Every structure is written in C-alpha cells, then in structure tokens.
Amino acid sequence: MSHAGTAHLETSTGISNKKLLMWLFLASDCLFFGSFIAAYLLYRDRSIVGPYPEDLFDIPFTSVSAFVLLMSSVSMVLALAAIQKGNVRGLRIWLLTTAVLGTLFVAGQAYEFTEFYHEGLHLDTNLFGTTFYVLTGFHGAHVTIGILILLSLFVYSLRGGIQQKDSENIEIAGLYWHFVDIVWIVIFTLIYLVQP
Amino acid sequence: MTLADYRKQHGEPLTEEDEHSGGDTHHPSALEYIQIGAILTFVTALEVALYYIDMNYTLLVTMLIVLSLAKFALVVLWFMHLRFDNKLFGILFASGMALTFTVFAVVIAAQHGGLV
C-alpha cells in the first residue's frame, strides 16, 4: 500500500520534517516518563505511613482501563487505514471512537484518583502518593491532550479539511496516541502488576 | 528535491538508504491491525491471569516484563510503523529509550549501593 500523504517530499533527507519532529519529541518524552517511573520505583517502598499500594490498587478495574486504552490504539490505526484509502467517513468514525475510548480511560483515572483520595492517599501523604499521582497524573494529562488533538482532527474533517493526501497528519497524531499507549503498557506492568 | 531524486535524474545508482527514504512505505491492512489488537488483548489477559497465580516472585516479575515488552514491541513496530518506516525514526526512538534505560540503571545502582 502506498503512503499517499508523503508521496512527494521536498526535504533534503527525503523524510517528512513533521514526522521527524514528532519522533524527536517522543524520544525526549521517553526520558520524561522514564524519570518519573524510576522515581516511583525508588520511593514506593519508603513510605513510613500508609496507605500503601497493596491497600489501594484495584487490579481488575485497572486491567479494564488498560484494555480500553489498548483498543483505542487499534481504533486509531483503523482511522489511519481509512483515510489512506480515501474513506473520510471511516476516518471520522474511528477518530471519534478513539476519542471516546480515551475519555473513558481518563474518566476511569479520575474515579481511581477520587477513590484513593477518600482512602487517605493525598499528594503529600507519603512518597508513594507523591510519585504515584505525579506519574499517572502526567500520563492522564498526555491522554487528555491526545483527546483534544483527536477532536480537533474530527472537527477539521467535518469541515472538509482532511483528504487522502493529508493522511500524514493523522499518522502523526497516531504516533502521539500510540506513545501514550505504550507508556501505559509499561506503567500497568511496573506500577500495578509488579508489587514488592 | 531529495538525494534519491537527484541520483535518479543524473542516472546515478540508488543506495539502500535512498530506496527506504521515500514516502512509499508499506502499512499493514485493517485486518492485520485487528489481528494485532487481538494479540494485545490476549497478552494483557495473560498478564492479569499471571498476577493472580501463586508462583515464584522472580519468575512472575520476569514473565510480566517479557509480556510487557512484547506488547510494547507490537505497538511500536506495527501501530507506529517503525518496522516499515525510515530507519532514522527507529534510531531516534531507540536513542530516547537507551537514555531512559540509563536512568533506570543509575537509579537501581544507586539504590543497591545505598546512595539514595
């Protein structure tokens, strides 16, 4: 299948500058999340007052959230596949599906934070609370920004602004969305499933 | 004009990099994407099932990390198209990951050394 959006690139490298910029951003964002995850792993056992992770984590609930975010990645690639075939209606359906799934994930995170807060875990309660809220909060912020990007693309497509030749813009938005997904894959395993 | 275009115009032989630098990259079909989604779902279910099985802690952690890496690789290689796209993107992302693992290694070393 040819990639319609980048058929005639006018750059000295022959690759899209926009795509290159997104990959550079994602590479730098790796370090951002890597630092937060390392800080969490370093400090989670050093809290001198509760509540502790094993008192709060609801694995079945978080598993459903992880599944929802994974499925949003599938709908995102289906949006890309649709526009690469010139199917604008399909693009809109899958973009909206991805945004809805992302919103479900953020809503689940908001519910989880509220539950933890009522259980007594605040940002300044202990080292677990500080590192957990900062890490997962920043991830939630990334997902929220992703939803805004998706909705912007959806509205833009309704105005006729996205055609088959513009598929690279959808691919770049998809790169961001999948990155948010792979960060959660790591968080779900290292923070939720692997407990000391 | 790209270097590949210049070489084509002047009848010069294309390098391997030229052949991969253009925009004509193969992307998987919708069916392939759905199949990968099904695999990701299965692996996630397996991870959760392992969490509830009473087994050796080291073995459990190793299995969970291996499964997580498999999911990570599937998304990066297929959904983010690194398997099909220009190698430069992969090098950039791998550099970011290498820096991240360096941070992890330093943190773990510092923790074991009693420095933090």
- ipTM of this model? 0.89
Contact list, B60 vs chain A (CB under 8 Å):
194
CB-CB under 8 Å, A174 with B27: no
Cis upstream peptide for A51 (omega within 30°): yes
Task: Please give the full DSSP string across B17-72, using - where no structure is assigned.
Answer: HHHHHSS------HHHHHHHHHHHHHHHHHHHHHHHS---HHHHHHHHHHHHHHHH
Cβ <8 Å between B21 and A3: no
Tell me, rounded to whole angstroms, the distance of Cα A133 from its chain centroid: 16
- Verify whether the Cβ–Cβ distance B61 to A28 is below 8 Å: no
From residue A130, alpha-carbon distances to A160, B107, B108, B116 in Å are 45, 18, 19, 17
Q: Which residues of A touch B51 (CB under 8 A)?
A: 59, 193
**Residue B50 and residue B32: Cα distance in Å, rounded?**
27
- Per CB-CB distance under 8 Å, the chain A contacts of B71 are 70, 182, 185
The candidate with the shortest Cα–Cα distance to A66, out of B34, B35, B41, is: B41
Report the Cα A69 to chain-centroid distance in Å. 7
Predicted pLDDT of residue B7: 56
What part of B 31-60 touches A (C-beta under 8 Å)?
Answer: 33-34, 36-37, 40-41, 44, 47-48, 50-51, 60
Q: Say if residues A173 and A129 touch (Cβ distance below 8 Å).
A: no
Is there a contact between A2 and B24 (Cβ–Cβ < 8 Å)? yes
pTM: 0.87
Which pLDDT band holds residue B6 (cuts at 50, 70, 90)?
A: low
Query: How far is A52 from A151, CA to CA, in rounded Å?
Result: 37
Question: With a cut of 50, which residues of chain A have pLDDT below it?
Answer: 1-7
Cα–Cα dist B30/B94, whole Å: 27
Q: Do B95 and A27 touch (CB under 8 A)?
A: yes
User: For residue B65, what pLDDT is reported?
Assistant: 95
Residue range B55-94, pLDDT digits in tens: 899 999 999 999 999 999 999 999 999 999 899 999 999 9
Pairwise CA distance, residues B47 & B68, whole Å: 8
Quick one: pLDDT at residue B38?
A: 96
| Residue of A172, A179, A181, A23 lying closest to A83 (CA atoms) | A172
* CB A76 within 8 Å of CB A68: no
Backbone angles phi, psi at B115, to 5 degrees: -80, -25
| Mean confidence (pLDDT) of chain B | 83
The answer to whether B15 faces chain A, any CB pair under 8 Å, is no
- DSSP run (H or E) holding A67: helix A59-84
Kindly indicate the confidence band of residue B111, based on its pLDDT and cuts at 50, 70 and 90: confident
